[in-house]
Amino acid sequence: MSPNANHNGSAHHDHGKCVADALAAAREICDQRGERFTELRGRVLELVWESHRPIGAYAVLERLKADGRSAAPPTVYRALDFLMEVGLVHRIESLNAYIGCAHPGAAHASQFLICKDCGTAEELESPAVDAALAAAAGDHGFKIAGRVVELSGTCKNCSGS
């Protein structure tokens, strides 16, 4: 077990690097888009990335307070709203929770596989799913603006062993 594996769910990758990469990418994306990647926003993104499990806004809030920082609900909701607009974070509607985007930087429609056992959420970008949704909507004269696709069930790790 790697030194960084003890604080995340799957424990199958170097999660410290995982988080560091996400933060570096976020900084770059914000620079490119002329958005301010402030210390608060960075810390919130880091907290969201601390596991691959979706995390609730109030859980983020508690961790911010644990930093010794003064924080209230609007503090974290504003940061999360910003991160979502920039495309660095997704909201999981069925959990009222938030998770770091696995492929930030480009607009994309994603799907989530949420394991009921270990709580992880994997982000997919399946063109086939996207096409099927577009076709089904088109058949009904519906113009898609936003997609929520969240599958709950059992992940590979949890069903295997």
> Among Zn ion, a copy of itself, DNA, none, what binds residue 142 when CB lies within 5 to 8 Å by partner kind?
a copy of itself
Q: How far is the CB of 70 from a copy of itself (least distance, A)?
A: 30
Residue 136 interacts with a copy of itself (CB under 8 A): yes or no: yes
Tokens for 77, please give them. Answer: 């909701």
- Which residues from 90-109 bind a copy of itself, rule CB under 8 A? 93-94
Kind plus residue range of the DSSP H or E element containing 90: strand 89-92
Sign of CA dihedral 73, 74, 78, 84: positive
Name the phi and psi angles at 96, rounded to 5: 50, 50
Name every residue whose Cβ is closer than 8 Å to that of residue 27 and which is 6 or more positions away in sequence.
37, 42
Strand partners, 113: 122, 151
Which amino acid is it at 154? T
Closest approach of Zn ion to the CB of residue 100, in Å = 8
Residue 73, binding choice from Zn ion, DNA, a copy of itself, none, Cβ under 5 to 8 Å by partner class: DNA
By the criterion CB under 8 A, which residues form the site for a copy of itself?
Answer: 93-94, 111, 113, 115-116, 122, 124, 126, 128-129, 131-133, 135-137, 140-156, 159-160
By the criterion CB under 7 A, which residues form the site for DNA?
Answer: 35-36, 38-41, 56-58, 69-75, 77-79, 81-82, 96
